[in-house]
């Protein structure tokens, strides 16, 4: 409520003012009909009677009915202004609160663990942060403030009705429990149906998001019809769920309108009978019907509010799931460690699920400034090994998964932000934002100059390519880098990481999309400019790894072989040598073919 409380309070005050005006007008009409036009004694409060006496009393008003008309007009004007202010301040309050809600959601999501993002689909997260937030906003702006006004209006209307005619007031009150009971009956069902609709919308959003971000893959494999049918099936399911909810809502509102109509008809009939018998004056009857209208509207509105509250409750629960998910937190005694020391993997084991370990008993030491090559088949755990290094996936705190240390300090005892700023990573599938090439290269570093950007691009062998573009480094990159080739995206990601000048650098198969010649040029430039950084090279090419100080060969989550290129080549039946010879034979065959 921070920042929006005062707007809610002003909105509540104006709602109370509206209720006051709505209550006063029937009394003026009642006084006019019974006292001014008739001969009944005034039943207005003494303070109002004193005011009337000062301007000449009832005889004066009988000859100047325009005074009463002006009074009603002034109250109507006050009501209009109050309604305007109530709408403005309630909207301001809800928008201010929702703005803060969006900020909290976005900030919270930024710090949720990597594993949480892997378990929740992006489209569903977006739907929660947009559609569900919108549902909450609509309830806050349209319904929440009305609760105070409705409660007060029901209380005042019933008080005035009982003060005027007890028997009619009892008849008017009889339907209240019925309305509340059927509202509760429908409320639970509406809540369940809306939850189904909300979840179906999340699935639909996820399908749309995945399809749009992967549009090149869809077009490349000619899967447009398949994706269209998949979307259409979910869209139909989503529509059908809303239709079922709409039928339930129609029945709910229809029953409410029917009961309210019966109640009005009952009061009208009984009131006319009492007027005919002379037990009720015409002014009392008109005022009583006005108060009954004031009573029936909020009761009907209250029933509808229950359904809106059900929908808002579902959205709040879905948003609460995000905000209640625990964020990454450093240990209380976390330290800023020197990341230029030796990196030690000590008996590291890890699995995304408890029953399926991916890495088993990994142990090796990367000396400071060394280049470590990692070779292995798909699913052998190469990338996971590096995700453990920068703590995207934490090891078990009980030590059952081993430990990773840098300079003798366990990475679990380091501040996550400092650790990740010190571990530069180039992923196999680099993500580029919808910005210029220069912005994408500079995004990881603050205060970087244009010359720094160009220098990083030259090392990544990207500068010549960018200079061929019409807009150069100002060339706009489409979503996820869709306007660049795979090799250009990888080189842009390499340049982005080089601007950080981190003590630890990880190249996760980040040269797979470039040709062998460009691969060699980039590795030569990197060797010249990496300085004393510790480098991890993950690759399927032995040519990329052969100059590394230490090469690890992973198989089935274990280190099957380790050593330098020369040492591994001495093993006649070794995995590394077999892969090297297969790739060498393939390269020779390609040369002969050319």
According to the model, what pLDDT value does residue 445 have?
A: 77
In percent, how much of the chain has pLDDT > 90? 8
pLDDT tens for residues 451-461? 888 888 888 88
| Helix axes of 65-110 and 5-31: crossing angle, nearest 10 degrees | 160
Q: Do the beta carbons of residue 441 and residue 449 sit within 8 Å?
A: no
Q: How many CA atoms lie within 13 A of 593 on its CB side?
A: 6
Report the pLDDT averaged over residues 365-389: 88
Q: Which H or E run includes 382?
A: helix 382-389
pLDDT for the residue numbered 568? 92
Question: Which of the residue ranges 54-68, 315-329, 361-375 would you say has the lowest mean pLDDT?
Answer: 54-68
pLDDT digits (tens, 9 = 90+) for 499-534: 888 899 888 877 766 667 777 777 777 777 777 889
The per-residue pLDDT for 449 is: 85
Please tell me the distance from the alpha carbon of residue 52 to that of residue 58, in angstroms, as a whole number: 7
Question: pLDDT band for position 592 (50/70/90)?
Answer: very low
Q: Is the pLDDT of residue 55 over 60?
A: yes
pLDDT at 65 over 50: yes
How do beta strands 504-508 and 423-426 pair?
parallel
Q: Which tokens in the block code for residue 371?
A: 């280049």
CA distance 13 to 294: 19
**Is the Cβ–Cβ distance between 441 and 492 less than 8 Å?**
yes
For the beta carbon of residue 560, count every other beta carbon within 10 angstroms. 16
Q: How many Å apart are CA 562 and CA 276, to the nearest integer?
A: 106
pLDDT of residue 405: 93
Q: Which two tokens stand for residue 496?
A: 């982005």
Contact by Cβ (8 Å): 380, 446: no
What is d(CA 109, CA 134) in angstroms, rounded to the nearest whole number? 18
pLDDT of residue 304: 66
Long-range contacts from 440-445, C-beta under 8 angstroms, 24+ separation: 440/477, 440/481, 440/492, 440/496, 441/473, 441/492, 441/495, 441/496, 441/499, 442/496, 442/499, 443/496, 444/496, 444/497, 444/499, 444/500, 445/499, 445/500
The H-assigned helical ranges of 174-281 are 175-213, 215-220, 224-277
Q: Which domains does the chain have, with CATH numbers?
A: 5-324 (1.20.1560.10), 343-593 (3.40.50.300)
Phi and psi at 549, nearest 5°, equal -70, -30
Compute the distance between CA of residue 400 and CA of residue 413 in angstroms, rounded to an integer. Answer: 16
Q: Evaluate if pTM is beyond 0.75.
A: no
pLDDT tens for each residue of 408-432: 899 999 988 888 888 888 887 777 8
Mean pLDDT, residues 130-147 taken together? 78
Question: Within a 10 A sphere around the Cβ of 458, how many other Cβ atoms?
Answer: 16
Q: What is the pLDDT of residue 439?
A: 87
C-alpha to C-alpha distances, 441 to 88, 418, 451, 521, 572, nearest whole angstrom: 45, 20, 12, 20, 44
**pLDDT tens digits for range 430-486:** 778 888 888 888 887 777 888 888 888 888 888 888 888 888 888 888 666 666 777
Query: CB neighbours (10 Å) of residue 399?
Result: 12
Cα–Cα distance for residue pair 396/403, rounded to 1 Å: 9
Share of the chain above pLDDT 70, in %: 92
Q: In the block, which residue shows the tokens 């409410």?
A: 256
- For the segment 92-106, the average pLDDT, to the nearest whole number, is 85
pLDDT value at residue 262: 82
**167 compared with 550, residue with greater pLDDT:** 550
Q: Cα 7 to chain center, whole Å? A: 25
Residue 156 — pLDDT band, cuts 50, 70, 90?
Answer: confident
Residue 3 has pLDDT above 70, yes or no: no
Closest CA to 486 of 526, 438, 523, 518: 518
Q: Tokens for 453?
A: 């950007």
Retrieve residue 208's tokens: 């749309």
| pLDDT class of 404 with cuts at 50, 70, 90 | very high
pLDDT digit string, tens, across residues 102-111:
888 999 998 8
Residue 586 has a pLDDT of: 62
Exposed/middle/buried for residue 31 (C-beta within 10 Å: 0-12, 13-18, 19+): buried
Quote the pLDDT of residue 300: 64
pLDDT at 365 over 90: yes
Higher pLDDT, 171 or 355: 171
Mean pLDDT of 382-406: 87
280-296: b or e for each residue (b if 16 or more CB lie within 10 Å)?
bbebbbbbbbbbbebbb
24-38, 82-96, 100-114, 555-569: least confident range: 24-38
Check residue 594 and give its pLDDT. 46
Residue with tokens 């950084």: 533
d(CA 457, CA 442): 11
DSSP codes, 45-77? -HHHHHHHHHTTHHHHHHH-HHHHHHHHHHHHH
* Distance set, CA 225 to CA 230, 231, 482 (Å): 8, 10, 22
Nearest 5°: phi and psi at 505? Answer: -125, 135
Place of tokens 């609460």: 320
Give the pLDDT band (50/70/90) at residue 89.
confident
pLDDT tens, position by position, 121-138: 887 888 888 888 888 887
């Amino acid at each position: 409520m921070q920042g929006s409380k005062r707007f809610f309070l002003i909105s509540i005050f104006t709602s109370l003012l509206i209720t006051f005006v709505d209550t006063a007008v029937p009394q003026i009409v009642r006084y006019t009909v019974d006292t001014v036009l008739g001969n009944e004694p005034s039943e207005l409060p003494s303070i109002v009677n004193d005011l009337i006496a000062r301007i000449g009393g009832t005889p004066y008003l009988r000859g100047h009915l325009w005074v009463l008309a002006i009074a009603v007009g002034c109250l109507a004007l006050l009501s209009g202004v109050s309604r305007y202010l109530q709408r403005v301040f309630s909207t301001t309050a809800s928008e201010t609160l929702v703005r803060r809600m969006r900020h909290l959601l976005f900030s919270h999501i930024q710090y949720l663990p990597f594993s949480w993002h892997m378990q929740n689909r992006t489209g569903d997260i977006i739907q929660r942060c947009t559609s569900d937030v919108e549902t909450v906003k609509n309830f806050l702006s349209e319904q929440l403030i009305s609760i105070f006004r409705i409660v007060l209006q029901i209380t005042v209307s019933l008080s005035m009705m009982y003060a005027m005619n007890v028997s009619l007031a009892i008849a008017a009150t009889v339907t209240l429990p019925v309305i509340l009971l059927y509202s509760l009956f429908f409320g639970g069902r509406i809540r369940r149906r809306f939850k189904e609709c909300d979840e179906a919308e999340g699935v639909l959003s996820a399908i749309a998001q995945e399809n749009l971000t992967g549009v090149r893959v869809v077009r490349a494999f000619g899967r447009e019809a398949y994706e269209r049918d998949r979307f259409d099936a979910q869209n139909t399911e989503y529509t059908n769920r809303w239709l079922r909810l709409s039928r339930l809502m129609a029945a709910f509102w229809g029953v409410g309108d029917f009961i309210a109509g019966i109640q009005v008809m009952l009061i009208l009939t009984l009131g006319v009978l009492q007027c005919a018998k002379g037990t009720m004056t015409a002014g009392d009857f008109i005022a009583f019907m006005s108060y009954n209208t004031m009573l029936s509207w909020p009761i009907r509105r209250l029933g509808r509010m229950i359904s809106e509250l059900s929908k808002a409750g579902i959205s709040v629960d879905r948003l609460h799931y995000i905000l209640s998910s625990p964020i990454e937190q450093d240990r209380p005694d976390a330290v800023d460690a020197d990341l230029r020391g030796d990196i030690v993997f000590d008996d590291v084991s890890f699995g995304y699920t408890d029953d399926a370990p991916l890495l088993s008993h990994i142990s090796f030491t990367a000396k400071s400034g060394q280049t470590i090559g990692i070779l292995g088949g798909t699913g052998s755990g190469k990338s996971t090994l590096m995700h453990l290094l920068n703590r995207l996936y934490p090891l078990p705190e009980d030590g059952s998964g081993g430990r990773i240390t840098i300079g003798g300090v366990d990475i679990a005892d380091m501040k996550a932000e400092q650790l990740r700023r010190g571990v530069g990573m180039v992923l196999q599938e680099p993500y580029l934002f919808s910005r210029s090439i220069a912005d994408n290269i500079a995004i990881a570093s603050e205060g970087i100059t244009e010359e720094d950007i160009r220098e990083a691009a030259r090392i990544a062998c990207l500068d010549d390519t960018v200079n061929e573009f019409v807009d150069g480094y100002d060339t706009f990159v489409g979503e996820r880098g869709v306007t660049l080739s795979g090799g250009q995206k990888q080189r842009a990601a390499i340049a982005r990481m080089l601007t950080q000048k981190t003590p630890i650098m990880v190249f996760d198969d980040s040269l797979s999309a470039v040709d062998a010649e460009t691969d060699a040029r980039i590795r030569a430039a990197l060797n010249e400019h990496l300085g004393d950084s510790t480098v991890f090279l993950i690759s399927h090419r032995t040519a990329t790894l052969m100059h590394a100080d230490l090469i690890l060969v992973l198989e089935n989550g274990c280190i099957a072989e380790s050593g330098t290129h020369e040492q591994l080549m001495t093993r006649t039946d070794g995995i590394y040598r077999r892969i090297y010879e297969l790739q060498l034979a393939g390269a020779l065959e390609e040369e002969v073919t050319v």
